[in-house]
Structure 1
Amino acid sequence: MTEYKIRAGEYTATIAAHAGALRELRHRERDLIVPFPEGGPIPDYRGIVAAPWPNRIADGRYTFDGAEYEVPVNETDRGCALHGLVFPLDWTLESLDESSVTLSCSPEPTAGYPHELRVAVEYRLAEDGLHSAVTAENLGGTAAPYGVCPHPYLVAGPSPLNEWVLEIPAGTFLEVTPDRLLPKEMRSVDGHEFDFRAPRAIGGTEIDHAFTDIAFDGGGQARVLVRDPGGTGVGMAWDRTCQWLQIHTADKQPPFPNRLGLAVEPMTCPPDAFNSGVDLIRLEPGAMHSASWRIFAT
């Protein structure tokens, strides 16, 4: 597997050409994300770019501009099309220097998504962490539905995830069906176990939900912070381009490793947005869309 290593200050990162995925991110040799092995498959979509849709499309079917489409179902146990079309691809190197790398891909138009997109991701290390930006351009002649998110699993430190202290600046979450994780209704976090607006330990709470009503600061940034009781921590920041946030405690049944990290995914739209239309981006011919985020040590 082709991969690229970049560094700046006390940070190092490794990016795989396959899926344009972030394979490793370290600060002072400490993992800030759950890595995946070099040269092998990518478990649990770790570090991928999810585009042209994040999360799920129910049954792989949707309607756009009056036409019905069907994309392949790759989450067979839930009957959903998961995480878009670009993660199976090998991305092309566009530029590389000591502290940054840019990769791109152009998925082939299909009957289910008959649009010509070019998607590029830039990873850039600086003194304040890893800056990532995904830019999509519609090279075709028809408008395309679009959404995007990253998929890192953050690691606060060596303690079990249950002991990590989590802060999520969101007032509402999307309740989902227990069997397929498809949207049901919006609910306030007030009085709910998903209220992490004030930092507290994750404990046994299991989360695989989208959040919104996100609190952005005066500079237009929102942050999720995760801290290990030993004193280390990791954070993720993003801007108003992503009004949604998927959090997943990576719960697994034996024999699979359980709760290895916390998936933190700033999203431009919620799950199944290709059907609901909520915050779905309409990418007109010739138009471009960019979204960015940053992972940093605390």
Structure 2
Amino acid sequence: MPGTEYSIAAGDYTAVITARGGALRELRHKGRDLVVAFGADGTIPDYRGVICAPWPNRLADGTYTYAGRTFEAAINEPERGSALHGLATGRLWIVRQPSPDEVVLDCRVAAGEAYPGELDLSVAYRLTEDGLVSTVRAANVGGVPAPYGVCPHPYLVAGPSGLDEWSLELPAADFLEVTQDRLLPVGMRSVDGHEFDFRAARRLGPVKIDHAFTGINRGADGRARVRVQDPAGTGVELEWGAEWPWVQIHTADKPVGPDRLGLAVEPMTCPPDAFNSGTDVVHLQPGQAHCAEWTIRALG
């Protein structure tokens, strides 16, 4: 779509960023896909690469109460009765400051029936010789406090083998159990003895995951890293900081259509349905801003 996407490059990396949803459309290293790409036109499949704000994941029934007021968002996941991934994913973001290796996009979330505050969102994508460094910022430019949560939504690609053959290293001790029908929170569980224990890298196999994980083990630098590797020797790593205490992992299972094309790895500031549970919600005061950063790089 003319005027809505921008190519950037640095070292052996190239990326295509689209104004649609502020999304990462392509990321390649030496010509190899590191994320599941999508076309230049039309609807973005499965929210690939978008920025999910001002809440990530599911909001049950699209309703919540904040500061004594009830808000209602449109249901965009009718089969589960949820408002999914916030208010900015279907928007055309405004591109500014494009350069050969970086592009910044902006989006305004206005106050209304679905949300109490007014946010200026921006996302910066910068390619370096070490990978794609991305930063999302939200500033409360309204006059009242506002709840906030965010996540990026890339589907990682380890290499040419099918997802079942990839190995996953996920440094998380706990996961949020969810209902089978609506994938809404039930309670926390340890990964000890569970098929979701990937603290030591091992083959994914046929396991199906669409869950939020926490209790994340970080390195001495305070960073967490998820690694996905292909038997051919290639792989991809997603690294993030302490601003994200959660990460959603999804094996991209589809009852109809292309199945298990990539592994969604989504650092999250809060878990699913957080606007109702209150867990880890960021409360942005007027004039306050929140920033969070993540990096995707090739392995092998």
Q: Among 61, 79, 82, which residue is 2:81 paired with?
A: 79
Query: Counterpart of 1:117 in structure 2: which amino acid?
Result: L
Query: Counterpart of 2:15 in structure 1: which amino acid?
Result: A
Q: What does residue range 1-298 of structure 1 map to in structure 2 within 5 Å?
A: 1=1, 2-254=4-256, 256-298=257-299
Find the residue that maps to 1:96 and give its secondary structure: coil
Q: Select between 207-216 and 87-96 the one with higher mean Cα deviation.
A: 87-96
Q: CA RMSD in A?
A: 0.6
User: Structure 1: how far apart are the matches of 2:111 and 2:43?
Assistant: 24
Find the residue that maps to 1:275 and give its secondary structure: helix
The aligned length equals: 297
User: Structure 1: how far apart are the matches of 2:50 and 2:275?
Assistant: 20
CA shift at 1:136, angstroms? Answer: 0.3
CA shift at 1:40, angstroms? Answer: 2.0
Please give the per-residue CA displacement for 1:63-111, whole angstroms capped at 9, x wherever unaligned: 1112211111110000000000011111111211110000001023221
Query: Counterpart of 2:278 in structure 1: which amino acid?
Result: G
User: Tell me, which stretches of 5 or more residues in structure 2 are unaligned?
Assistant: none
- State the identity %: 61
Query: Counterpart of 1:275 in structure 2: which amino acid?
Result: N
Find the residue that maps to 2:292 and give its secondary structure: strand
Query: Counterpart of 2:282 in structure 1: which amino acid?
Result: I
CA shift at 1:115, angstroms? Answer: 1.6
TM-score (norm 2): 0.98
User: Structure 1: how far apart are the matches of 2:112 and 2:66?
Assistant: 15
CA shift at 1:272, angstroms? Answer: 0.4
User: Structure 1: how far apart are the matches of 2:96 and 2:138?
Assistant: 14
Query: Counterpart of 1:219 in structure 2: which amino acid?
Result: D
Please give the per-residue CA displacement for 1:1-52, whole angstroms capped at 9, x wherever unaligned: 2100000000000000111100000000000000001112100000000000
Q: Select between 104-113 and 171-180 the one with higher mean Cα deviation.
A: 104-113
User: Structure 2: how far apart are the matches of 1:108 and 1:88?
Assistant: 14
Please give the per-residue CA displacement for 1:105-143, whole angstroms capped at 9, x wherever unaligned: 102322121321100000000011000110000000000
Q: Select between 100-109 and 273-282 the one with higher mean Cα deviation.
A: 100-109
User: Tell me, which stretches of 5 or more residues in structure 1 are unaligned?
Assistant: none
